[in-house]
Protein backbone atom coordinates (compact mmCIF):
# COMPACT_ATOMS: atom_id res chain seq x y z
CA UNK A 1 0.00 0.00 0.00
CA UNK A 2 2.72 2.39 1.03
CA UNK A 3 4.56 1.53 -2.18
CA UNK A 4 1.52 2.28 -4.32
CA UNK A 5 0.86 5.56 -2.63
CA UNK A 6 4.50 6.54 -3.09
CA UNK A 7 4.24 5.93 -6.82
CA UNK A 8 1.11 8.02 -7.02
CA UNK A 9 2.80 10.73 -5.01
CA UNK A 10 5.86 10.72 -7.32
CA UNK A 11 3.65 10.85 -10.43
CA UNK A 12 1.71 13.62 -8.84
CA UNK A 13 4.74 15.74 -8.05
CA UNK A 14 6.30 15.18 -11.51
CA UNK A 15 3.13 16.35 -13.19
CA UNK A 16 3.14 19.27 -10.87
CA UNK A 17 6.68 20.39 -11.62
CA UNK A 18 6.26 19.84 -15.36
CA UNK A 19 3.27 22.11 -15.37
CA UNK A 20 5.24 24.66 -13.38
CA UNK A 21 8.11 24.42 -15.83
CA UNK A 22 5.94 25.17 -18.84
CA UNK A 23 4.31 27.98 -16.98
CA UNK A 24 7.72 29.42 -16.16
CA UNK A 25 8.96 29.34 -19.77
CA UNK A 26 5.84 31.03 -20.94
CA UNK A 27 6.29 33.75 -18.35
CA UNK A 28 9.83 34.53 -19.43
CA UNK A 29 8.51 35.38 -22.87
CA UNK A 30 5.78 37.62 -21.66
CA UNK A 31 6.05 39.00 -18.18
CA UNK A 32 3.82 41.90 -18.95
CA UNK A 33 0.52 40.09 -18.74
CA UNK A 34 1.61 38.43 -15.49
CA UNK A 35 2.71 41.58 -13.72
CA UNK A 36 1.19 42.33 -10.38
CA UNK A 37 -0.16 45.86 -10.06
CA UNK A 38 1.48 47.38 -7.01
CA UNK A 39 0.31 50.82 -5.88
CA UNK A 40 2.13 52.60 -3.06
CA UNK A 41 0.42 55.51 -1.30
CA UNK A 42 3.02 57.34 0.77
CA UNK A 43 4.57 60.66 1.87
CA UNK A 44 8.01 62.08 1.17
CA UNK A 45 8.97 62.68 4.82
CA UNK A 46 6.97 59.98 6.60
CA UNK A 47 9.36 57.70 8.54
CA UNK A 48 7.34 54.53 7.83
CA UNK A 49 7.19 55.39 4.13
CA UNK A 50 10.94 55.97 4.03
CA UNK A 51 11.58 52.68 5.77
CA UNK A 52 9.26 50.77 3.41
CA UNK A 53 10.78 52.35 0.32
CA UNK A 54 14.43 51.94 1.21
CA UNK A 55 14.30 48.60 3.06
CA UNK A 56 11.52 46.68 1.28
CA UNK A 57 10.32 48.06 -2.05
CA UNK A 58 13.51 49.32 -3.65
CA UNK A 59 15.80 46.41 -2.72
CA UNK A 60 13.22 43.93 -4.06
CA UNK A 61 13.12 45.78 -7.40
CA UNK A 62 16.83 45.08 -7.92
CA UNK A 63 16.33 41.34 -8.43
CA UNK A 64 14.41 39.10 -10.82
CA UNK A 65 11.10 39.73 -9.13
CA UNK A 66 11.16 43.27 -10.53
CA UNK A 67 9.86 41.75 -13.78
CA UNK A 68 6.62 40.87 -12.03
CA UNK A 69 5.86 44.36 -10.75
CA UNK A 70 3.72 47.04 -12.41
CA UNK A 71 4.39 49.90 -10.04
CA UNK A 72 2.32 53.01 -9.33
CA UNK A 73 3.87 55.49 -6.90
CA UNK A 74 1.46 57.95 -5.29
CA UNK A 75 3.35 60.52 -3.18
CA UNK A 76 0.42 62.17 -1.40
CA UNK A 77 -0.69 60.22 1.68
CA UNK A 78 -2.66 62.29 4.16
CA UNK A 79 -2.13 65.54 2.28
CA UNK A 80 -5.22 67.68 1.83
CA UNK A 81 -5.77 70.34 -0.78
CA UNK A 82 -7.89 73.40 -1.40
CA UNK A 83 -8.65 75.03 -4.68
CA UNK A 84 -8.57 78.85 -4.58
CA UNK A 85 -8.82 80.84 -7.80
CA UNK A 86 -7.75 77.79 -9.78
CA UNK A 87 -4.65 77.36 -7.59
CA UNK A 88 -4.22 74.27 -5.46
CA UNK A 89 -2.81 74.79 -1.99
CA UNK A 90 -1.74 71.74 -0.06
CA UNK A 91 -1.44 70.92 3.61
CA UNK A 92 0.89 68.01 4.27
CA UNK A 93 1.04 65.54 7.14
CA UNK A 94 4.63 66.47 8.04
CA UNK A 95 4.45 70.16 7.19
CA UNK A 96 5.29 72.41 4.22
CA UNK A 97 8.65 70.75 3.60
CA UNK A 98 6.85 67.51 2.95
CA UNK A 99 4.64 69.26 0.38
CA UNK A 100 7.78 70.33 -1.43
CA UNK A 101 9.14 66.78 -1.25
CA UNK A 102 5.88 65.40 -2.61
CA UNK A 103 6.00 67.94 -5.44
CA UNK A 104 9.59 67.07 -6.33
CA UNK A 105 8.55 63.41 -6.57
CA UNK A 106 5.37 64.21 -8.50
CA UNK A 107 7.42 66.21 -11.03
CA UNK A 108 10.06 63.47 -11.25
CA UNK A 109 7.43 60.81 -11.90
CA UNK A 110 5.87 62.86 -14.68
CA UNK A 111 9.02 64.27 -16.28
CA UNK A 112 11.71 61.58 -16.15
CA UNK A 113 11.47 59.82 -19.53
CA UNK A 114 8.10 61.61 -19.89
CA UNK A 115 6.66 59.27 -17.26
CA UNK A 116 7.28 56.20 -19.43
CA UNK A 117 8.35 52.86 -18.00
CA UNK A 118 11.85 51.54 -18.65
CA UNK A 119 11.70 49.05 -21.52
CA UNK A 120 10.77 45.57 -20.31
CA UNK A 121 9.75 46.78 -16.85
CA UNK A 122 6.54 47.94 -15.23
CA UNK A 123 8.14 51.08 -13.80
CA UNK A 124 10.78 53.67 -14.64
CA UNK A 125 14.11 52.57 -13.20
CA UNK A 126 15.64 56.06 -13.11
CA UNK A 127 12.65 57.76 -11.47
CA UNK A 128 12.32 54.96 -8.92
CA UNK A 129 16.04 55.15 -8.09
CA UNK A 130 15.92 58.93 -7.80
CA UNK A 131 12.92 58.79 -5.46
CA UNK A 132 14.47 56.02 -3.38
CA UNK A 133 17.55 58.21 -2.96
CA UNK A 134 15.42 61.15 -1.80
CA UNK A 135 13.51 58.91 0.62
CA UNK A 136 16.85 57.72 1.96
CA UNK A 137 18.73 61.00 2.21
CA UNK A 138 16.17 63.78 2.80
CA UNK A 139 16.73 65.81 5.96
CA UNK A 140 13.35 66.14 7.61
CA UNK A 141 14.40 68.81 10.13
CA UNK A 142 16.00 71.08 7.56
CA UNK A 143 13.54 70.20 4.82
CA UNK A 144 16.49 69.44 2.58
CA UNK A 145 16.13 67.14 -0.42
CA UNK A 146 19.47 66.33 -2.09
CA UNK A 147 18.09 66.43 -5.62
CA UNK A 148 21.46 67.14 -7.21
CA UNK A 149 23.24 64.20 -5.57
CA UNK A 150 20.32 61.87 -6.19
CA UNK A 151 20.10 62.94 -9.85
CA UNK A 152 23.80 62.30 -10.31
CA UNK A 153 23.75 58.90 -8.64
CA UNK A 154 20.77 57.78 -10.72
CA UNK A 155 21.72 59.43 -14.02
CA UNK A 156 18.71 61.72 -14.16
CA UNK A 157 19.36 63.75 -17.30
CA UNK A 158 16.74 66.47 -16.83
CA UNK A 159 17.01 67.70 -13.24
CA UNK A 160 16.59 71.28 -14.45
CA UNK A 161 13.12 70.55 -15.84
CA UNK A 162 12.22 68.93 -12.52
CA UNK A 163 13.54 71.96 -10.61
CA UNK A 164 11.53 74.28 -12.84
CA UNK A 165 8.42 72.19 -12.31
CA UNK A 166 8.58 72.20 -8.51
CA UNK A 167 7.73 75.87 -7.90
CA UNK A 168 5.40 76.05 -10.88
CA UNK A 169 1.67 75.33 -11.09
CA UNK A 170 2.67 72.14 -12.96
CA UNK A 171 3.78 70.62 -9.68
CA UNK A 172 0.46 71.48 -8.04
CA UNK A 173 -1.45 69.99 -10.93
CA UNK A 174 0.62 66.79 -10.88
CA UNK A 175 0.30 66.50 -7.12
CA UNK A 176 -3.44 67.03 -7.22
CA UNK A 177 -3.72 64.14 -9.68
CA UNK A 178 -2.03 61.95 -7.07
CA UNK A 179 -4.54 63.36 -4.59
CA UNK A 180 -7.39 62.18 -6.81
CA UNK A 181 -5.85 58.69 -7.00
CA UNK A 182 -5.51 58.61 -3.22
CA UNK A 183 -9.09 59.83 -2.63
CA UNK A 184 -10.32 57.14 -4.99
CA UNK A 185 -8.73 54.52 -2.73
CA UNK A 186 -9.70 55.99 0.65
CA UNK A 187 -10.69 59.42 1.80
CA UNK A 188 -9.01 60.12 4.14
CA UNK A 189 -6.20 57.59 3.77
CA UNK A 190 -6.18 55.47 6.93
CA UNK A 191 -2.56 54.43 7.11
CA UNK A 192 0.72 55.61 5.55
CA UNK A 193 2.20 53.93 3.65
CA UNK A 194 -0.62 51.89 2.14
CA UNK A 195 0.34 49.23 -0.38
CA UNK A 196 -2.33 47.84 -2.72
CA UNK A 197 -1.92 44.71 -4.83
CA UNK A 198 -3.94 44.24 -8.04
CA UNK A 199 -6.14 47.23 -7.31
CA UNK A 200 -7.87 45.71 -4.29
CA UNK A 201 -7.04 47.12 -0.87
CA UNK A 202 -6.40 44.47 1.73
CA UNK A 203 -5.10 45.58 5.12
CA UNK A 204 -3.36 42.27 5.76
CA UNK A 205 -1.36 42.50 2.51
CA UNK A 206 -0.52 46.14 3.10
CA UNK A 207 0.79 45.37 6.59
CA UNK A 208 2.69 42.29 5.41
CA UNK A 209 4.31 44.28 2.58
CA UNK A 210 5.81 46.63 5.13
CA UNK A 211 7.63 43.84 6.91
CA UNK A 212 8.24 41.55 3.95
CA UNK A 213 7.37 43.02 0.56
CA UNK A 214 8.63 39.98 -1.35
CA UNK A 215 6.33 37.68 0.57
CA UNK A 216 3.33 39.94 0.01
CA UNK A 217 4.16 40.26 -3.70
CA UNK A 218 4.62 36.51 -4.06
CA UNK A 219 1.10 35.91 -2.78
CA UNK A 220 -0.06 37.51 -6.02
CA UNK A 221 2.34 35.88 -8.48
CA UNK A 222 0.83 32.71 -9.97
CA UNK A 223 3.02 29.60 -9.91
CA UNK A 224 6.09 29.04 -7.78
CA UNK A 225 8.79 31.51 -8.67
CA UNK A 226 12.25 30.42 -7.54
CA UNK A 227 12.79 33.82 -5.91
CA UNK A 228 9.58 33.39 -3.95
CA UNK A 229 10.47 29.93 -2.70
CA UNK A 230 13.92 31.17 -1.71
CA UNK A 231 12.32 33.91 0.33
CA UNK A 232 10.25 31.33 2.19
CA UNK A 233 6.99 32.55 0.71
CA UNK A 234 6.41 29.36 -1.28
CA UNK A 235 7.61 26.83 1.25
CA UNK A 236 4.49 26.93 3.40
CA UNK A 237 2.29 26.50 0.33
CA UNK A 238 4.39 23.58 -0.96
CA UNK A 239 4.45 21.72 2.33
CA UNK A 240 0.72 22.24 2.67
CA UNK A 241 0.20 20.60 -0.73
CA UNK A 242 2.43 17.65 0.21
CA UNK A 243 0.68 17.14 3.55
CA UNK A 244 -2.76 17.43 1.97
CA UNK A 245 -1.90 14.92 -0.75
CA UNK A 246 -0.44 12.49 1.82
CA UNK A 247 -3.57 12.70 3.95
CA UNK A 248 -5.85 12.12 0.99
CA UNK A 249 -3.73 9.17 -0.22
CA UNK A 250 -3.52 7.58 3.21
CA UNK A 251 -7.34 7.80 3.55
CA UNK A 252 -7.68 6.25 0.10
CA UNK A 253 -5.40 3.28 0.74
CA UNK A 254 -6.01 2.48 4.36
Ligand X SMILES: *[C@@H]1O[C@H](CO)[C@@H](O)[C@H](O)[C@H]1NC(C)=O
d(CA 215, CA 212): 5
CB within 8 Å of 31: residues ≥ 6 apart: 67, 68, 120
Q: How many CB atoms lie within 10 A of CB 159?
A: 17
Cα gap 134→151, rounded to integer Å: 9
Decide: is 63 part of the binding site for ligand X (CB under 6 A). Answer: yes
- Answer for which of 77, 227, 228, 234 binds ligand X (CB under 6 A) is 227
Instruction: Tell whether residue 59 is a contact of ligand X (CB under 6 A).
Output: no
Q: Which helix (H) or strand (E) holds 48?
A: helix 47-51
Pick out residues in 163-192 that bind ligand X (CB under 6 A): 163, 167
The answer to whether 208 and 216 have CB atoms below 8 angstroms apart is yes
Q: 194 vs 249, which CB is nearer to ligand X? A: 194
Question: Where does this chain touch ligand X (CB under 6 A) — which range of 52-60, 64-72, 104-112, 173-181?
Answer: 64-72
Told to check if 70 binds ligand X by CB under 6 A, we report yes
Gap between the Cα atoms of 160 and 170, Å rounded: 14
DSSP string, 204-245: HHHHHHHH-HHHHHHTTSSS--HHHHHTTTTHHHHHHHHHHH
Binding track over 104-143 against ligand X, x by CB under 6 A: ------------------x---------------------
Sign of the CA dihedral running 5, 10, 11, 15: positive
Query: Which stretch in 29-37, 79-87, 131-139, 181-189 sits in contact with ligand X by CB under 6 A?
Result: 29-37
- Judged by CB under 6 A, does residue 25 bind ligand X? no
Residue 77 or 249 having the CB closest to ligand X: 77
Closest approach, Cβ 163 to ligand X, in A, equals 5
Q: State the residues that interact with ligand X by CB under 6 A.
A: 32, 35, 37, 63-64, 70, 72, 122, 163, 167, 227
Amino acid sequence: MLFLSSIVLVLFSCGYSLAQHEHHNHMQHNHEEHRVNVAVYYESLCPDSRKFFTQQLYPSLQGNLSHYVNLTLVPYGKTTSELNLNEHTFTCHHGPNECRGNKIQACALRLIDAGQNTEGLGFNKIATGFINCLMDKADREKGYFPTMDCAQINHVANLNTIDNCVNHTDASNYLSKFGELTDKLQKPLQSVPTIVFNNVYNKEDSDLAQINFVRALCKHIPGDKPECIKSGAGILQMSFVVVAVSIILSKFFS
